[in-house]
Structure 1
Amino acid sequence: MSGERVYTIEGGAAVPLQPVSLAEAGLRERQDLQEWVLARPEILGPDVILVAFEFDRWQDARGDRQRDRLDVLGLDADGRLVLAELKRDQAPDTVEMQAVKYAAMASRFTEADLVTYHARFLSDRGGQTVSEDVARARLLDHAGELDADQLRQPRIVLVAGSFTKSTSASVVWLTEMGLDITMQRVQAYRIGAEGVIVTVSQLFPVPDVEEFTISPQRAEAVATQSRKRKTRERSAVQKLVASRALPDGTQLTFRTTMEVDADARELVEDWIAEDPRRGRASWRNDVAKPLTWEYDGQSYRPTGIVSQVLQEAAQLARSVRGTSWWVTEDDLSLVDLAGQLLERSPFDWSRLHGILQTLPPSRWTTYGDLAEVVGTAAHPLGRHVASCPECSNAWRILDASGLPRPGFRWTDQNDARTQREVLESEGVRFDGDRADPAQRLSEDQLTAAMEGRTEKELTSPTRLLPQHS
């Protein structure tokens, strides 16, 4: 914040430190500021990993190489790209427009693009070749899946020693128009004869009032991210319950993650230290509520306890990936364990085959929704469907935005119909290139199909709810 003051305590008195520019402190943009972000990506926000650094592989529509260089390309746990521009001292007047241009170009990245760039980044940083399979696994483990809709909405972070008034005004207006832009201020202070300390403060949006200032578009994006976290949590729990990898009664311990900042983590750890029962739970193989919290003896989803802890300990309302916060005595999170199951054994696709057989005409679904219901990710499910003779009604699967799959092929190579032509003949309506979202089968309806419920339950447009006597 612009009025930040930093003090040392000398003999019981508060002595103000002298602010200096990073240049005056002998700190450089590339060798220092960029290396800090490499080592501490939480500067860009909670739960961000770096995909690429000093990215300059842009091309225009004709395939011509562009000379622009983005400082940092990251990915958050919700599957959104994070683009950061780093400036050692005052950012130039046009820094926000430069970042918006990068965001527009990055919004066209595909999963394949990110995997290629990340493999190159890991290889350059580690000094040895990293395969694209390893890079893909790292990205998917972090984000759950790379959804095209999410990738089209990058988040922008501007990091600098100071910002001009015109830049600040532009950022506020762009935020009101629906863009997600954060301004982080880096300030150096002299301490003693040789020492220097550096602070990083979020100038905008003001953290404590951000929820009151975000636009309706950003509010909708936050809600979408929350829904995706819940579906990823359900997927991990489903894998563990189906495999019985954890016996009933397995003890789990609460462990904070980088999804919240250091201050919140400290508050949570202090709150748990006051009563260690708050940090312990036992597992039971129940998809709905697999954790019994020792603190109150009640059963919850993993995220349910985490949300309550964050609220009680830090007065923080935050959507988190709860399965990352609970670990075994071997220090493996529930997410880690679910990932190991996929690596160790072939995936059982029989549940998918059963659901596909029940998909009715005039309805469609997505690779992502099917993946969440059967307990895998969209990418491997898509690869399986593309080469699976048992996957009936595969033409009724579209991408998350309702677009037909570009590489769709019929088993009969002589069949010249398009996927859209067949869907329209069955009664699916299209608006432009996209299928009518009202005809999309929800996860609940797909779950009903997997559980063998009735045709009426499957095709009902209303949410499936338990009956109460």
Structure 2
Amino acid sequence: MASERVYSIEEGTAVPLETVSLAEAGLRERQDLQEWVLARPEILGPDVMVIAFEFDHWQNSKGDRQRDRLDVLGLDADGRLVLAELKRDDAPDTVEMQAIKYAAMASRFTEADLVSYHSRFLSRRSGETVSEDEARTALLDHAGELDSEQLRQPRIVLVAGSFTSPTTASVVWLSEMGLDITLQRIQAYRIGDEGVIVTVSQLFPVPDVEEFTIAPQRAEAQQSKARRTRKRERSTVGRLLQSKLISDGTLLTLVPTTEVDAEARERVQEWITEDPRRGRATWVNGPKPLRWEYDDALYRPTTIAKQVLLYAADVERSVNGPQWWVTEEGASLTELGAAIGPGFDWDGLHTILASLPAGHWTTYGDLAKVIGTAAQPLGGHVMSCPECVNAFRVLDASGQTRPGFRWADPDELRTQRDVLEAERIQFINGHADPARRLPLNELREPLTAKTA
């Protein structure tokens, strides 16, 4: 990386200034560098607003507190999060990996999270209580309506006196893969006996050539993502067709995901509301498994999703079509295909169901734990499986009957609850008696006996 040259003009002569580290200049990371960024957030890029600093309110999937501390959390005018790591002098080799970890955790933030964090930040900085309503107004005035898809794609800024070659090589590669990451170099210069000046320079991407180098590479990354999406769709549909998990005629509803922004999703919903057939399809176990109710023709899931997006919102882009189509139980085709895995063996489920004793009940979740799958694909299989006897004894996690439950015998007119009550299972406020729920160890017994 080329170093900058800074001169003072003394009696008409350009005199080069002596470079010093921030430490040598008596400047500190938290008391000085961090305060500069808080006061001058343009150091992180144009139109950046600071939401919080020294942020450590992370939790893992179990709700346990994580002790990592992000230096600065910001928001740009486009509604994207900006995560900044500040290092007073030399950045360690792992600084980019640390920032990526923060970006992954921050990508789950919601508007409500940001409002809460910003309210605390403003209160802490001003010494007076700033309400969440005031914090929300400040955020929306800066970035407009916050879109969940935008928030899921944070921008990373690393600020340091210098970066190692491994770090710069990693950052270049990450940018080529589509990650928005910037290196800002901060350098102090001695001027006179007491004075110090500080410069901030964008080392990467180089501003003058970013449009011609990084932008095309990111575009290629998006094209590669589209190719992966098509491959993923083939895998999902293939698994579903092979497993026969979804029976012919099963109704599916189109629900746009956060792959597109809020405005596009709203337009899609409005377009479907005008003619509900546009958002409905039935499953057909064949190469083109969706019969679109709008024109009664057969398509692959992504084909319809892309057409709907184009017709409704004038947006032409690749999407993960199976993720857009959901069953009456709320499970997407992607979730069903991923959970069952290729060629899942349902024999264990059939054995357990055949052994369910009268006067007792179990849940989709408990059955899924015992046989090693997930509740949603198991529920879909039970709904369409002629071998799943005693399926009426399977309820949801709270002990309620399944809204979409159907008998294999079309002449059966009783409800699922009618039959269970006939077996002396009491329902209280719509929930089956928990004392009649089979424990997991008893569910496993038929499988143990079978292998004994």
When the two structures are superposed, what TM-score results if normalisation uses the length of structure 1?
0.51
Conserved? CA contact 1:175–1:215, under 8 Å:
no
For 2:120, the equivalent position in structure 1 comes to 120
1:28-70 deviation digits (Å, cap 9, x = unpaired): 0001000000000000000000111110000001111001000
- 4+ runs deviating over 6 angstroms: 362-367, 370-373, 423-430
For 2:82, the equivalent position in structure 1 comes to 82
Q: Does 1:368 align with 2:262?
A: yes
Structure 2 unaligned residues grouped into runs of 5+? 223-252, 280-290, 316-452
For 1:442, the equivalent position in structure 2 comes to 312
Distance 1:195 1:372 in 2: 56
CA positional deviation for 1:143: 1.2
Distance 2:185 2:21 in 1: 11
Within 5 Å, give how 1:101-140 maps onto structure 2.
101-140=101-140
Within 5 Å, give how 1:312-351 maps onto structure 2.
none
Conserved? CA contact 1:53–1:73, under 8 Å:
yes
Letter in 2 for 1:177: M
Distance 1:44 1:220 in 2: 26
Conserved? CA contact 1:106–1:154, under 8 Å:
yes
Conserved? CA contact 2:8–2:15, under 8 Å:
yes
Q: CA 1:202/1:427 → structure 2, altered by over 3 Å: closer, same or farther? A: same
For 2:211, the equivalent position in structure 1 comes to 211
Conserved? CA contact 1:161–1:185, under 8 Å:
yes
The Cα RMSD (Å) is 3.7
Q: Find the residue that maps to 1:210 and give its secondary structure.
A: coil
Distance 2:104 2:57 in 1: 14
Within 5 Å, give how 1:194-273 maps onto structure 2.
194-216=194-216, 218-219=218-219
Q: Find the residue that maps to 1:170 and give its secondary structure.
A: helix
Distance 1:435 1:217 in 2: 29
Structure 1 unaligned residues grouped into runs of 5+? 223-361, 374-381, 386-391, 397-401, 403-422, 446-469
Distance 1:13 1:209 in 2: 33
Conserved? CA contact 2:177–2:218, under 8 Å:
no
Q: CA 1:217/1:124 → structure 2, altered by over 3 Å: closer, same or farther? A: farther
Letter in 2 for 1:46: P
Distance 2:78 2:84 in 1: 17
1:118-162 deviation digits (Å, cap 9, x = unpaired): 111111111111111111121112112211111111110000011
CA positional deviation for 1:218: 3.3
The total of aligned residue pairs comes to 269
CA positional deviation for 1:367: 8.5
Letter in 2 for 1:442: A
Q: Does 1:26 align with 2:4?
A: no
For 2:49, the equivalent position in structure 1 comes to 49
For 1:154, the equivalent position in structure 2 comes to 154
Conserved? CA contact 1:19–1:190, under 8 Å:
yes
For 1:417, the equivalent position in structure 2 comes to none
For 2:189, the equivalent position in structure 1 comes to 189
Letter in 2 for 1:136: R
Q: Find the residue that maps to 2:209 and give its secondary structure.
A: helix
- Identity percentage over the alignment? 72
Conserved? CA contact 2:176–2:221, under 8 Å:
no
Distance 2:10 2:266 in 1: 57
Q: CA 1:67/1:177 → structure 2, altered by over 3 Å: closer, same or farther? A: same
CA positional deviation for 1:90: 0.2
Distance 2:113 2:274 in 1: 26
Conserved? CA contact 1:108–1:152, under 8 Å:
yes
Distance 1:394 1:110 in 2: 30
Distance 2:15 2:59 in 1: 53
Conserved? CA contact 1:54–1:72, under 8 Å:
yes
CA positional deviation for 1:113: 1.0
